[in-house]
Amino acid sequence: MGAGGEIHNLWTHVTRAASPQWFRGRLDVEQQAHALHTWEPLVVPGLLQTEEYARGLVDCDLAGSCGGRFEPRGFPGGDR
pLDDT in tens, 36-77: 887 878 888 878 888 888 877 777 766 566 666 655 555 555
Q: Angle at the Cα of 11 (from 9 to 12), degrees rounded to 5?
A: 65
H or E, element range at 54: helix 51-59
Q: How confident is the model at residue 4 (pLDDT cuts 50, 70, 90)?
A: confident
- For the entire predicted model, the pTM comes to 0.35
Q: Determine phi and psi for 60, rounding to 5 degrees.
A: -110, 140
